[in-house]
Amino acid sequence: MTQARSSVRFARALAALAEYYVRDLSEGVIALYWQGLSKYPVEDIEAAIMRHLQNPDSGQWMPKIADIVRMIEGTTQSAAALAWAKVMRAVGAVGMHQSIVFDDPVIHLAIDDLGGWPKLCQCRDDELPFLQKRFETNFRAYKTRGDDIPPHPRYLCGLSDGENRIAGFPVDPPRLVGDLQKAKQVFSGGSDASRLAVHVSEVPASTLLRLVGKSAA
């Protein structure tokens, strides 16, 4: 579907929503909704609007942009929990030796903040609750930035792949985890530059997740 057809379909959906809530929307407000939601497929927006209408807690009010986004993506808390579960499944299925690409660049950033893929795979069971909390805290902090996130690692380097690369031996392609198309986009849109993250709990809120080093955002 073309961008023009999507915008017309979106405008109709928003007009119907405003009529349902007996609200008048100016062209400027409609444009603001479109600017905030245009990155999502119009089908997802329509489905999110219907979920909002059926929500017994908030469905009695006209949804704001953030309400529709929440219906599409879920809360950052639930997204972080689901991301951690995906990571833990990959730890068991892939392991520390092979490089890996997830279908969300924020997962790469959050794992990189923990010290990298092999380190996470080698952690003890008693360390997992602490690492999970750190992962989910950083994941949520990155998610709240929307598209304004730092350059993410193209892939998370496995232990054997890293050693083979240093020694000049052939390196296997990384394993793709989750939605394959999205994982390919994460790989193609990532950076090969090293990064050094300052943990979110150690810096003032004004510099939350500010990166240091040559690849700083």
CA–CA dist 76, 144 (Å, integer) = 8
The structure's pTM equals 0.66
For the chain, the average pLDDT equals 86
119 pLDDT above the threshold of 90: yes
Mean pLDDT, to the nearest integer, of 15-27?
93
**Average pLDDT of the residues in 119-139:** 95
Please check the confidence at residue 204 and state whether its pLDDT lies above 60. Answer: no
CA geometry: angle at 154 spanning 150 and 156, to 5°?
105
pLDDT in tens, 37-46: 988 888 889 9
**Residue 196 has what pLDDT?**
59
With a cut of 70, say whether residue 139 has pLDDT above it: yes
Single-letter amino acid code for the residue at 45: I
Residues 149-180: tens digit of each pLDDT:
999 999 999 998 878 878 888 888 999 999 99
Please enumerate in sequence order all residues whose Cβ is within 8 A of that of 123, keeping only pairs 6 or more positions apart, or say none.
131
Average pLDDT over residues 64-81: 88
Asked whether 30 and 14 are in contact (CB, 8 A), the reply is yes
To the nearest 10 degrees (0 to 180), the angle between helices 27-37 and 65-73 is: 30
Q: For residue range 175-197, what is the model confidence (pLDDT) as tens digits?
A: 999 999 999 999 999 998 876 54
The tokens describing 58, both together, are 């908030």
Distances (CA, A) of 78 to 22, 24, 82, 127, 156: 32, 33, 6, 21, 23
Given a cut of 60, whether residue 103 has pLDDT beyond it is yes
Q: What are phi and psi of 24, to 5 degrees?
A: -100, 130
